[in-house]
């Protein structure tokens, strides 16, 4: 299964400027998603002038949104909200224009709780990785 931005918006509530995935597909090993950081995103304008770097919290959000296809069928009437992050590491800076590739797999799924292992790469180099936990809640 592959989804583009428009199709992902049917599953996720995120919209510009917080929709941080361009393309996502399920593979035998999990999910692979792509996001190209815009040339002048709002979140780098003050982080840092003259050397714009994507903040770590935005990288975590890119990894989270890039993992949504793993549990898409559970999102019909639910929202996936962060429940936690564990062992998140930042290994390389990400800049405007970079294409971030997210690889994710389900680590554990129990009732309304799902945890995934996610890794974000730029040009084949790991820039961030960690375990992300979500709690599924009613959309209303």
Among this protein's residues, is 47 annotated catalytic? yes
Instruction: For residue 86, give the H/E element and its range.
Output: strand 78-90
97 — alpha (psi -120 to 50), left (phi > 0) or beta?
A: left
Tokens 């049917």 -> residue: 10
Catalytic site residue from 14, 47, 95, 103:
47
Tokens describing residue 11: 């599953």
- Separation of CA 84 from chain center: 14
Instruction: List the catalytic residues.
Output: 47
């Amino acid at each position: 299964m592959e989804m583009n931005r428009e199709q992902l918006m049917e599953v996720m509530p995120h919209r510009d400027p917080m929709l941080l995935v361009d393309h996502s597909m399920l593979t035998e090993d999990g999910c692979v998603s792509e996001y190209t950081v815009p040339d002048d995103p709002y979140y780098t304008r003050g982080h840092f002038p003259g050397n714009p770097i994507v903040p770590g919290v935005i990288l975590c959000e890119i990894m989270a949104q890039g993992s949504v296809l793993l549990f898409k069928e559970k999102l019909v009437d639910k929202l996936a909200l962060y429940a936690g992050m564990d062992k998140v590491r930042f290994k390389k800076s990400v800049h405007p224009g970079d294409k971030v590739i997210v690889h994710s797999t389900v680590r554990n799924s129990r009732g309304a709780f799902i945890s995934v292992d996610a890794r974000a790469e730029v040009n084949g180099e790991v820039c961030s990785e960690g375990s992300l936990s979500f709690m599924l809640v009613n959309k209303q």
